[in-house]
Structure 1
Amino acid sequence: MTVLSVENLTLKFGGLTAVNDLSFQVDENSIASIIGPNGAGKTSVFNMITGFYSPTSGKIDLMGKSLVNKKPSQITQIGLARTFQNLRLFPNLSVLDNVKSGMHCRTKQTVWGALFRTKAQRAEEKYIEDVAYECIDFVGIRKYANRAAKNLPYGAQRYLEIARALATQPKLLLLDEPAAGLNYEEKQYLIELIRRIRDEYNITVLMIEHDMGLIKEISEKITVIDYGCKIAEGTPEEVLSNEKVIEAYLGKEEEE
């Protein structure tokens, strides 16, 4: 089953074409990646999928539902969550409260329930807290539960953002350079964590990442873009030996 389908996606900023007629699919319960040189258009693709940009043309479907012209909050409700290359945590809130904020899209109680502390409201608050603790435990940062996000080690902040995304209970998780700034041990833990997200939560994962070692170890399918166009697609072995991919990253040798 296809979880995400992108067809003929194009994004133009005035005379600049950031993404050009891009098509790819992400299969259910898979770990896929989008790679390409700096400026290739990868983050623009993520921003269109998540509703931060509106495509100039093309289709984006999540489990058969169109995401085009939908707000980010609506897309989250449909079942998509993301992390960002630059961390977007609430720095002064605790780890627990940061993760609770991810549950906002799944809450049902009204302001009246909060004012009058109804039984349903109390039950929902307990459910939110239980899910938040489960997500914190899952990514391995339970010991920081009551610490302000800004006071966490950098690696723990990365895992916190993943925990908050998991709290939205997504079907598809988009990770934008999740290994950025991590040391070797943290990257190895991240690889294990991403596999557990797929295997234990049955969440499909789509990544942007520059660390080719990580990409090769964890990805089952890679889509390569350059100047906004798809230049290759396939398994890590197929893609990383592709001449067009090597040329895009390393440049073309000048003939003497």
Structure 2
Amino acid sequence: MSTLTLKNVTLKFGGLVAVNDLTVQIGAGSITSMIGPNGAGKTSVFNMITGFYKPTAGQILLDGQNLVGKKPSQITRLGLARTFQNLRLFPNLTVLDNVKAGMHSRTKQAVWGALWHTRAQRQEERLIEQTALDCLRFVGMEQDCARIAKNLPYGAQRYLEIARALATQPKLLLLDEPAAGLNYEEKEALIGLIRSIRDTYGLTVLIIEHDMGLIKKISDHVVVLDYGQKIAEGVPEAVLNNPRVVEAYLGKEEAV
């Protein structure tokens, strides 16, 4: 289990401040949710953590190691994986090949090994396939391994992206709106899956989500952003009843 720490993190795009002096501690083994209205800066935070954006200021530490300035592939190798709000699958590949692609950062054999089909390369390929099958079995999709990804129902595509993230063998998993587009039954199943991921794999989980019912049920800790600033954090019930949080979502009531 890993800890993630953001220290005084700021992100600016020209004159626009997307994230402002954010300090957050994500505890090892926790399921933490990051919430806030649209445009609050949540996805920008994820993009900084995973190396897609470089903070203007501040530090992002995974188990004490600064991630700032590292490439996304380097951060993945350090044990951090994510899913995306908008699915990023390989639509024309099979389910199994999509998950195998997630292990690319963990492969050790050089190009010549693949060209000459060496013993080490064959062993690694068997390991990759077995790991991919294990991840698909864990999310309940082993029977779909030969299907083309684009032909899956939307909810199954969400699970496939989670399986691919697990194949990178992460210590910390970032889920960007994993419940988007799911119905009530699918969301309930997702809650069970995320808890099982944390408990079985020993992962720390950080979630961006808009479904408040899901947030209440799954979160150990909640962080709230508004206009790029942290306005509240704590246990779900206290945070979701915080007047500043209610105002951020619903607006300030006008005096009559």
Counterpart of 1:40?
Answer: 40
Counterpart of 1:4?
Answer: 4
Distance (whole Å) between structure 2 residues aligned to residue 253 and residue 115 of structure 1 = 67
- Once the two structures are TM-superposed, the CA of residue 198 in structure 1 deviates from its matched residue by 0.2
Amino acid at match of 1:186: E
Counterpart of 2:255?
Answer: 255
The 5-angstrom pairing of residues 218-237 of structure 1 reads: 218-237=218-237
Q: Secondary structure at the match of 1:8?
A: strand
- Once the two structures are TM-superposed, the CA of residue 117 in structure 1 deviates from its matched residue by 1.4
Counterpart of 1:51?
Answer: 51
- Once the two structures are TM-superposed, the CA of residue 141 in structure 1 deviates from its matched residue by 1.0
Q: Secondary structure at the match of 1:51?
A: coil
Counterpart of 2:115?
Answer: 115
- Once the two structures are TM-superposed, the CA of residue 159 in structure 1 deviates from its matched residue by 0.1
The 5-angstrom pairing of residues 84-233 of structure 1 reads: 84-233=84-233
Identical-residue share of aligned pairs (%): 72
Q: Secondary structure at the match of 1:140?
A: coil
Q: Secondary structure at the match of 2:3?
A: strand
Q: Secondary structure at the match of 1:109?
A: coil
For the Cα contact (< 8 Å) 1:232–1:245, is it kept in 2?
yes
Distance (whole Å) between structure 2 residues aligned to residue 22 and residue 163 of structure 1 = 30
Q: Secondary structure at the match of 1:93?
A: coil
Distance (whole Å) between structure 1 residues aligned to residue 119 and residue 46 of structure 2 = 40
Distance (whole Å) between structure 1 residues aligned to residue 145 and residue 29 of structure 2 = 29
For the Cα contact (< 8 Å) 2:79–2:172, is it kept in 1?
yes
Distance (whole Å) between structure 2 residues aligned to residue 28 and residue 20 of structure 1 = 24
Distance (whole Å) between structure 2 residues aligned to residue 49 and residue 105 of structure 1 = 17
- Once the two structures are TM-superposed, the CA of residue 118 in structure 1 deviates from its matched residue by 1.3
Q: Kindly tell me: are residues 202 and 226 of structure 1, through their superposed partners in 2, closer, same or farther at Cα, counting changes over 3 Å?
A: same
Counterpart of 2:238?
Answer: 238
Distance (whole Å) between structure 1 residues aligned to residue 113 and residue 253 of structure 2 = 67
Q: Any unmatched runs of 5+ in structure 2?
A: none
For the Cα contact (< 8 Å) 1:2–1:25, is it kept in 2?
no
Taking structure 2 as the reference length, what is the TM-score of the superposition? 0.99
Q: Any unmatched runs of 5+ in structure 1?
A: none
Taking structure 1 as the reference length, what is the TM-score of the superposition? 0.99
Structure 1 stretches (4+) deviating beyond 6 angstroms?
none
Q: Secondary structure at the match of 1:47?
A: helix
Q: Secondary structure at the match of 1:29?
A: coil
Counterpart of 1:65?
Answer: 65
- Once the two structures are TM-superposed, the CA of residue 144 in structure 1 deviates from its matched residue by 1.1
Amino acid at match of 1:56: T
- Once the two structures are TM-superposed, the CA of residue 2 in structure 1 deviates from its matched residue by 6.0
Distance (whole Å) between structure 2 residues aligned to residue 216 and residue 44 of structure 1 = 23
Distance (whole Å) between structure 1 residues aligned to residue 103 and residue 240 of structure 2 = 38
**1:9-38 deviations in whole A, cap 9, x for unaligned?**
100111110000001011111100100001
- Once the two structures are TM-superposed, the CA of residue 84 in structure 1 deviates from its matched residue by 0.2
Counterpart of 1:81?
Answer: 81
Root-mean-square deviation (Å): 0.8
